[in-house]
A = this chain, B = another copy of it.
Amino acid sequence: MSCVLQNNAYGKSRVRLTKVIRQPQRHELKELSVDIQLEGDFAPSYTAGDNSKVVATDSMKNTVYVLAAEHPLNDIEGFAVHLAQHFTQKYAQVKSATVHIQEDLWNRIVSNGSEHKHSFVSAGDEKRVTTVTSAQGALEIESGIENLLVLKTTDSEFWGFVRDEYTTLPEVRDRIFATSVAAYWLYGQQQPDFNEIYARVRQLILDVFAKHHSLAVQQTLHEMGKEALAACPHISEISITMPNQHRIPFDLTRFNMENKNEIFVPTDEPYGLISAQIVREAKQMSSIGADKAQAKIR
C-alpha cells in the first residue's frame, strides 16, 4: 500500500500582542491575537523528520512582536497583509501564508464627561477579525465581525413553515429575536479604508436588525447581506451566520395566570443556525473563497 501526504500546514496560534502608541495627547491601544499557518515545501518534516526548511513556530511568534514594533497597526488588515507577505517573501519554501487576527476591542473610559487619554474599558466579547492569505503573489483579504449579540423584543414573526407529524412548534406573529451575528466579507483587489468599512458594516447590521420587520431569521440575514454589498463597493461578497438564540415563552396558564408575551426562558441549546453567502454576482464555485464560505456554512 502507498499513501500520500495530500495537504499539510503548520503554524502558531494565539500569539497575543498589546501595542501602545504613546502620542502626546492620548495613548492608542491595540490588543490582538494572531494565528499564522504556512503551507509549502514542508513534506520532509512529516515524512522523514527533516526540519531543514521548517520555520519554527516559536520564530513565527517572535516575528509577530518584531514586526508589530515597526508597524503603525492602524488596522488589523494592514498588519495581517504585512505579516503574510513577510513569510511568503522571506522564505522560498513558503507557498502560502494565512494570517488570522482577532482584535479585542476597548472603549475609552468616560470620566466627567470626557474621554480619558490613557484609560480604557472593555467593549465586551464582540471581536473584529481578519484573515489574509498571501499565495503566488496574490492577496485575499477577508474581514469580519464576531459575537455581535443583539435582541429585539418584537417585529419578528415565524409562520407558514412545513407542518407535518414532526411539527409541534406553534406559528407565531410576535416573538423575541435574539442572535449572535458573525459576518465575514471579502475585499476586492483594492485596499480601501478598512476601519471605515468595518464601522459601516457593523452599524448597518445593527440598523437592519433594529428596523427590519422579520418573517424569518433567514430574511433578516439576507437583508443585512444585501445592504452591506449595496453600501460598500469594495466588498465582493459577504457570509453571515446567525444562531437563533431562542427565548421560549413560559406557560403561565398552568398557574392560573394569563400569558401576556412577557415572560420567557432563554436557552443556549439546542439552537437554530442560519447562514448564507451573498455575492455581488454569481461566482464559479471553483475559487478558494467559495470553498471557504462553503466550509463556514457547514
Contacts and interface: CB of A to CB of B under 8 A. Distances in A.
B16 A269 contact: yes
Number of copies: 4
A47 interface: yes
Given A20-B264, A111-B206, A166 B66 contact: yes
A18 B266 contact: yes
Contacts of A29: 151, 153
Interface stretch (A74-82, A188-196, A222-230): A222-230
A92 to B, nearest CB: 11
18 contacts: A4-B281, A11-B273, A16-B266, A18-B176, A18-B265, A35-B273, A37-B297, A45-B216, A46-B276, A47-B219, A50-B160, A50-B215, A51-B215, A55-B161, A57-B244, A66-B257, A116-B210, A124-B124
A237 B51 CA distance: 25
Contacts of A47: 219, 222
A169 interface: yes
B17 A210 contact: no
Contacts of A53: 162
